[in-house]
Amino acid sequence: MSAQSELSKIRNIGITAHIDAGKTTTTERILYYTGVSHKIGEVHDGNTTTDYMDQERERGITITSAAVTCEWKDHRINIIDTPGHIDFNIEVNRSLRVLDGAVFVIEGVAGVQPQSETNWRLADRYNVPRVIYINKLDRTGANFDYAFSTLKEKLDIIAIPLQFPIGAEENLQGIVDLVEMKALIWEGDELGAKFNVVEIPEELKEKAAEWRQNLLDTALAVDNSAMEEYFENGDVSVEVLKKCIKKGTISGEFRPVVCGSSFKNKGVQPLLDAIIDYLPAPDDVEGIRIAPPEDEEVDENTLPIIPVDPDGKFAGLAFKIINDKYGSLTFVRVYRGVLRSGDTVLNTTHGHKERIGRIFQMHADKRLELKEVHAGDIAAFVGLKDTKTGDTLADGSDPVILERMQFPVPVIDISVEPKTKEAVEKMTLALQKLAAEDPSLQLKTDQETGQTILSGMGELHLDIIIDRLRREYGVDANIGAPQVAYRETITQPHTEIYTHKKQSGGAGQYAEVKIIFEPTERNEGIIFENKIVGGSVPREYIPAVDKGIRNQASSGVLAGFPTVDFKFTLVDGKYHDVDSSALAFEIAGKACFREGMKKAGPVILEPIMDVEITTPNDHVGDVVGDLNRRRGMIQNQETAGSTVMVRAYVPLKEMFGYISDLRSMTKGRASFTMQFHHYDPVPRNVADDIISQSA
C-alpha cells in the first residue's frame, strides 16, 4: 500500500464540548466498539481511559487532553478527548490546532452552551471541519428539535441533520438514517453493540421524506455533477450523497448533525461511520501555513502552505508537553516526511538540534513504542531537551517554521511559597516543569515583594496546579493573593531645611540642605535639579544628596511603598571644612526626604487596570453594575452582533477573583482581558486600611 493511500485511512479528530455534555463518555464508547477497551469506563465511577489523572477521576472532569488510537472499518482514528471547562481552554486550543477534524458534542437538553460557543470560535480560527453529535437524548427533557435549533441561533451556521431520533427520553429506541433512508433500532441488553436495520416506521416516513429533501437540497449544491444526476434521476446514490456531504463538511459550507445517547450505547457506531465518511483524512485538508517572520505585519493568507506530504523532508509541530514518571514526553503532529527514533532534527523555532530518543503512540497514559512516524501521524517523543509547546521540528536541510499557536493571557494570580525553606529549590523546579507543560500558566518573581507569583486561567486551573505540585512533586505550599504594588507620591510643594550634626569625639559629621519638593506629572519618575550657587554645598557632595533622596524614596513616608513622580531641587545648604563628607550629605538628604515629604501632601497610589470585557447583550447591565461596585470607571461600550465590549479603568485590588464572578454573572459566556494602565490616588478609606495594615 502506498504512503498516500495509507494517509486516506487516517483520521485525526478531537472530541470537544461544553463541560458535562458527554465527551469522555462518548470517547469511552468509541474505544469499546472499536475493540480497544473490553470494559466500558464511566466518568461517575472514575475509571475512564482518557481521564487518567487523579484529579480528573476525583472531580469527574477532563483537565488535560488525552490521545488515544483505535481502528474502525480498516481506518485508524487518532482521537484527542479535550476538556470542557473554560480554565483548561488551552488544551482545546492546541488540540484543534493540529487536528484535521472535530466532533462537537452538544447536550440534548440544553443545546449549545457557552463553552461550545468558545470552542466553536477556536475551531473557526483554525478552520477545522466538524461533525455535530447531539448527545444525551435519553435524558428527561431532551429534545432533538430544540437542541438543533440552538445551532443556528447561537453558532449562526447552516446545519443539516443526517439523522433524527426514534423516540425520546427513556423511550429512545434508535435513529432514522436520512442518508440511507433506513431506521436503526438498538437491542436493549447488549451494551448497544447490536442494532437492527429496519424500514422507517410508518408514522415517521413523512418527516423523513421532508428532512431528506432538505439534506439533498443543501448537500448536492456543492457539486454540479451530483446536482445534474439528481435532476436526471430524481435521486442520487448513497455513495454520491456521502461524497457531497464530505465535500461540504470540509469546505465549511454546512455542518452535518448526527445524534444518540452515548451513555445508553445508542448512536455511537453511526457516529464512527460519520467520522470515517465525512471528516477529512490528513491529505483532504490543505495542511499548515508557515509562520510569518517575527515582528513583521503580513497578510496571513499570502503565506505558503505546507501540504501533508509523506515523501517530503520532515516537518512537525510540538503541541503538548507532559512530565510523567518516565520523564518528559513531547507530543508532535507530523505534517511532512518520516522520522525514526535516533534521528536528529532541528528545532527551527529556536535554532538548536534535538535528538529523538524513543517514539510512542499514546493510549491515554499507556504507550506503544514505534520505530518511525509518518506524515499524518500524532506521536509522543522522548528525549527532547529544549522544545516547547508550539515549536517546529524540521529537517535541517529545509528549516521551515510552522504557524505558531496563539495562547490565552492568564487572568488571575496567586502567590506561592513552600512551607519549608528546604523546599524552595524543589518548588521552583516543579513550577518550571508545570509551566513548560502548560503555556497558559505563567511564573514570575515579584521584585518588590520577593513573592513567587503564579498566573493562570482561573481559580480551578490554579487549584489543580497546586494540587499537582503537592501530589506529583511532593511540595506543600502556602497560597495567598499577591500583594498589590502600591506607590506613594506628593500633591503639593514644600521646602524643607535639614541639618545633620553628629559630634562624638574625634571627627564629627555635619551637613545642611535646603530642598524644594514638588509633585510632577504621572509617570515622570523622580527628577533632581541642582540650583546651588556660590558653593554653599561643594560640588563633590551634591551626588551624595541625590543618592540619599533616591535611596529613601524606595520606602515612602505613609506605608513604606516606593515614592514616585516628584521633583526635588537642592537650592541651598551649609558645610564644615573638617566635619562634612559625602556620607554626611547622603544622611542629610535621607532625613530631609523623611521630614519634608510628610508635609507635601503625601498620598498612596494604586495600579489602575485597563479592563476589556466581551459579554452577551443580555448581561451588559449586570457587568456594568458590578464594575461600578468595584470602583471602575466605564470608558466606552461597543456593540458587535449579539455581544457588547465594555471598557473600563478598574483598580487592580478590586480585580482579584473577578473571573469567577464574571462567569457566574454571565453563565460563563463573558470573557475579559486586562493590562496595567496608570496609577491613581486611592480613596481615603482605602488608604487608611493600607496604612493600618502596614503599621
Binding residues for GTP: 17-24, 81-85, 135-138
* SS3 (DSSP) at 121: helix
Rg, Å, the chain Cα set: 33
Whether the CB-CB separation of 101 and 13 falls below 8 Å is answered with yes
Residue with cell 440544553: 110
**C-alpha cell of 523?**
509617570
H or E stretch covering 323: strand 315-324
In single-letter form, the type of residue at position 512 comes to: E
Strand 392-394 vs strand 315-324: parallel, antiparallel, or unpaired? antiparallel
Angle of CA points 163, 165, 167, to nearest 5°: 165
Residue 579 phi, psi dihedral angles, 5° rounding: -85, -15
Instruction: Classify residue 187 by its DSSP letter.
Output: -
Instruction: Classify residue 553 by its DSSP letter.
Output: H
Residue with cell 494570580: 413
Separation of alpha carbons 475 and 424, rounded Å = 9
Burial class (CB in 10 A: 0-12, 13-18, 19+), 75: middle
Q: Cβ–Cβ contacts within 10 Å for residue 564, how many?
A: 19
Whether the CB-CB separation of 93 and 389 falls below 8 Å is answered with no
Whether the CB-CB separation of 545 and 570 falls below 8 Å is answered with yes
Instruction: Classify residue 560 by its DSSP letter.
Output: S
**C-alpha cell of 356?**
529523538
- The annotation places the binding site at 17-24, 81-85, 135-138
- Sorted by sequence, the CB contacts under 8 Å of residue 194 that are 6+ apart come out as 186, 187
Angle of CA points 63, 124, 147, to nearest 5°: 75
For the four alpha carbons of 606, 609, 610 and 615, in that order, the dihedral sign comes to negative
For the four alpha carbons of 341, 344, 345 and 349, in that order, the dihedral sign comes to positive
Separation of alpha carbons 83 and 93, rounded Å = 10
